[in-house]
Chains A and B, each alone.
Chain A
Amino acid sequence: MNVEPIIRVDGLVRRFGEFTAVDHVSLRVHAGEIFAFLGANGSGKSTTIRMLIGLLRPTEGSIVVDGIDVMAQTRRVRDHIGYMGQRVSLYQGLSLRENVEFYGGLQNLAGQELDHRWDRLRERFALGDVEREAASDLPAGVRQRAGLALAILHQPRVLFLDEPTAGVDLVGRALFWELIQEQAAQGRTVFVTTHFLEEADYCDRVSFIDAGKIVADATPAELRERTGTDYVVRVTGPPTGLSAVAAALEAALPPRAAKVTVEGAQVRLRMGSLSPERIVALRTAAEARGAHLLGIDPPDMGDVFRVLAREAGETAS
């Protein structure tokens, strides 16, 4: 992409005494992207986020968010970003609606403009029923949705979400990710961390930090390819002609792109990468021989990260 990235981080370093928590991290995030920032406990993830939103001063390096130098203009950047942490900070004694008034006030939003914005968010975020309830009574999933709504009330261009789905149940997590993807579709950039690795698949790009260094930065599909975790394409065909089907499928792909085997009544192709074009090529080749593309098993994102963590450990030792 040639467009100027909306988040540009160069040579970011943070030391605490002798300990280097963040070690020359450089990142590029483009407008409208959902960017997952993953890493183990103690990898430097939270320290990096705290620097990106201007809460912690780096030892070295530069951070530009939406054209603003975060270190030079820490206050100004806050109008351009929204932030939400693991534990959403709502004022417990106030109702959700009162929290909205309060947060709106901090952003110089009030009256009709605030009402208008909140009405739309309340509807889409399914918060209407709980608007009058005390913030302390909200279940985790609702509290996190409310937190997201408050974080975008001032319509920031970039959203930082630090483990927004921690402690949220499955249904709540699914709804939350639908909302995140909607925000991205509207052009908002989302920088997000999570320990639920299946959620990495909902993101456009994934970076992985280990011992303060970025060890991977790619699309989920590229990470699968790089870590050698395979897609398995399953094809059924006429029992007598399976080896011919296998040969035709192999011929439909670039040389050595897949490992092809006949297993029982199925042909199985294992491959590190899979594009829509490849699916079409395989489907056409299968159907031309009376065979049928049954389905594709994508590799487990957990396995992708197990490989990345192991590689990072080997490099470090």
Chain B
Amino acid sequence: MALAGVAAPAIELRALRKHYGSRAALRGIDLAAAGPQILGVVGPDGAGKTTLLRALAGLLEVEAERSIVLGFDLREDTAPLRAKLGYVPQSFGLYRELSIRENLLVTGRLHGLPDRAIAARGEMLLGRTGLRPFIDRPAGALSGGMKQKLAIASALLAEPRLLVLDEPTAGVDIVARDEIWAILNERRAEVLIVVSTSYLNEVEMCDRLAYLEGGRVVAAGSPAELRAATPFELYRVWGAAPRAIAREARELAFVSGVAATGQYARIEVPSERSPGEAAVRAALERLPGVVLAEAAAIDIEAMMRALAATASEATPVGARA
């Protein structure tokens, strides 16, 4: 097992590019990740997240100055790399007609594992995922959350050093999402997990984030680092009619974004436009029906929105993840 910071990085990409015909999906990805951790790949639709994950899984022909994953070069034959990693694609990657037991068996044999090892590891994974009671059910008949858990169990069967997951929790309910993240959390000390997600609470659970926009990594760091670097202020404004408050607040010159829950309005103010926290709060408290305007800590939602707002013109703030 490689130690973080001692052995060669598990992922080292410099100026990685991918074109589909004349369209550039990746325009020069710089990304490095050393040892085991959860690396979240985030960003808007069309930023290149799925393409990057497929490239990491050795599924694409790419151009790059450097493109090393687990010691293999993505520009060369990637068959040996693919044997060493687990990959869970966005679309269904299981054998529908086969049962859970058979899916694990086929996947294990493809990785060259002896049947006894498959049975032993499979047993442990079935326990962890809560799939054991359904072991003889065809994969095609499982619920969305169970399918994803089986796909992850299959990907973990050969004990890969790298696990690549493309939106594993999309369309999955919160209970199953929690179970999937419990599996990832158990592995984060042993496996480098690269995962894309659009759920904010999952973004928060990553050790590091790489924010993609237009085929480049435009920001990277831990969620806390990226939150601290967010050039926005966030306010919560409480009152009896938050939607009306939000509408009024949108008219204020320094406000860039509003949202209304049943109890408060969320108000985002870019730091460069802010007249200062006290002045913003005073202005918000003058709106009709406001009982409290508070300056709130930057949350993941505000961080992601700020990145989206600034990404297009931003220079990369760092690309080491």
- Which one of B171, B264, B292 lies within 8 Å of A283 (CB-CB)? B292
For B304, the closest partner residue in chain A by CB is A170
Which residues of chain B come closer than 8 Å to A221, judged between CB atoms?
262-263
Is B243 within 8 A of A181, CB to CB? yes
- Cβ of B295 within 8 Å of any chain A Cβ, yes or no, is yes
- Cβ of A4 within 8 Å of any chain B Cβ, yes or no, is no
- As a 0/1 sequence over residues 188 to 203 of chain A, the CB contacts with chain B under 8 angstroms (1 = contact) are 0000000111100111
Q: Report the separation of the CA atoms of residues A141 and B308 in the bound assembly, to the nearest whole angstrom.
A: 14
Which residues of chain A come closer than 8 Å to B236, judged between CB atoms?
295-296
- Cβ of B46 within 8 Å of any chain A Cβ, yes or no, is yes
A182 → B minimal CB distance (Å): 9
Q: In the complex, how many residues of chain B place their beta carbon closer than 8 angstroms to a beta carbon of chain A?
A: 42
Chain B positions 222-254 with a Cβ under 8 Å from a chain A Cβ: 236, 238-240, 243
Q: Report the separation of the CA atoms of residues A197 and B200 in the bound assembly, to the nearest whole angstrom.
A: 10
Q: Report the separation of the CA atoms of residues A166 and B173 in the bound assembly, to the nearest whole angstrom.
A: 12
Q: Report the separation of the CA atoms of residues A185 and B260 in the bound assembly, to the nearest whole angstrom.
A: 12
Is A181 within 8 A of B260, CB to CB? yes
Q: Report the separation of the CA atoms of residues A172 and B236 in the bound assembly, to the nearest whole angstrom.
A: 21
The stretch of A15-23, A37-45, A99-107 in contact with B is A37-45
Please judge, given known A-B contacts A40-B175, A295-B294, whether A139 and B238 are in contact too, CB under 8 Å.
no
- Cβ of B270 within 8 Å of any chain A Cβ, yes or no, is no
Is B296 within 8 A of A306, CB to CB? no
- As a 0/1 sequence over residues 281 to 297 of chain A, the CB contacts with chain B under 8 angstroms (1 = contact) are 00100000000011110
Which residues of chain B come closer than 8 Å to A279, judged between CB atoms?
238, 291-292
Is A40 within 8 A of B173, CB to CB? yes
- Which one of A41, A283, A306 lies within 8 Å of B172 (CB-CB)? A41
A151 → B minimal CB distance (Å): 20
Q: Report the separation of the CA atoms of residues A202 and B230 in the bound assembly, to the nearest whole angstrom.
A: 24
Q: Report the separation of the CA atoms of residues A305 and B199 in the bound assembly, to the nearest whole angstrom.
A: 15
Q: Report the separation of the CA atoms of residues A58 and B176 in the bound assembly, to the nearest whole angstrom.
A: 29
Which residues of chain A come closer than 8 Å to B243, judged between CB atoms?
181, 185
Please judge, given known A-B contacts A41-B144, A185-B243, A298-B264, whether A163 and B171 are in contact too, CB under 8 Å.
yes
Please judge, given known A-B contacts A169-B45, A293-B292, whether A174 and B259 are in contact too, CB under 8 Å.
yes
Main secondary structure of the interface of B (DSSP, over half): mixed
For B262, the closest partner residue in chain A by CB is A220
Which residues of chain B come closer than 8 Å to A43, judged between CB atoms?
173
Which residues of chain A come closer than 8 Å to B120, judged between CB atoms?
none
- Which one of B176, B264, B294 lies within 8 Å of A41 (CB-CB)? B176
- Cβ of B65 within 8 Å of any chain A Cβ, yes or no, is no
For A205, the closest partner residue in chain B by CB is B262
Is A177 within 8 A of B259, CB to CB? yes
- Cβ of B201 within 8 Å of any chain A Cβ, yes or no, is yes
- Cβ of B170 within 8 Å of any chain A Cβ, yes or no, is yes
Is B143 within 8 A of A202, CB to CB? no
Is A276 within 8 A of B174, CB to CB? no
- As a 0/1 sequence over residues 135 to 170 of chain B, the CB contacts with chain A under 8 angstroms (1 = contact) are 000000001110000000000000000000000001
- Cβ of A204 within 8 Å of any chain B Cβ, yes or no, is yes
Q: Report the separation of the CA atoms of residues A170 and B172 in the bound assembly, to the nearest whole angstrom.
A: 17
Which residues of chain A come closer than 8 Å to B172, judged between CB atoms?
41, 195
Which residues of chain B come closer than 8 Å to A6, judged between CB atoms?
none
Is B201 within 8 A of A302, CB to CB? yes
- Cβ of A72 within 8 Å of any chain B Cβ, yes or no, is no
Is B296 within 8 A of A166, CB to CB? no
A216 → B minimal CB distance (Å): 14
Q: Report the separation of the CA atoms of residues A201 and B259 in the bound assembly, to the nearest whole angstrom.
A: 10
Which residues of chain B come closer than 8 Å to A140, judged between CB atoms?
45
- Cβ of B305 within 8 Å of any chain A Cβ, yes or no, is yes
- Cβ of A309 within 8 Å of any chain B Cβ, yes or no, is yes
5 nearest CB pairs, A to B: A295-B294, A40-B173, A201-B261, A169-B44, A41-B144
**Interface residues of B, Cβ cutoff 8 Å to A:** 43-46, 143-145, 170-176, 178, 198-201, 236, 238-240, 243, 257-264, 289, 291-292, 294-296, 301, 304-305, 308
12 additional A-B pairs beyond A169-B308, A170-B301, A296-B292, beta carbons within 8 Å, are A41-B172, A140-B45, A166-B171, A169-B198, A170-B198, A172-B45, A181-B243, A195-B173, A220-B262, A294-B294, A302-B201, A305-B174
27 inter-chain pairs at a CB distance below 8 angstroms, sorted by A residue, are: A39-B173, A40-B175, A40-B176, A41-B171, A41-B176, A140-B45, A163-B171, A166-B171, A169-B198, A171-B308, A172-B45, A174-B305, A178-B258, A181-B260, A185-B243, A197-B174, A198-B200, A220-B262, A276-B289, A279-B238, A295-B295, A295-B296, A296-B292, A296-B294, A298-B261, A302-B201, A306-B178
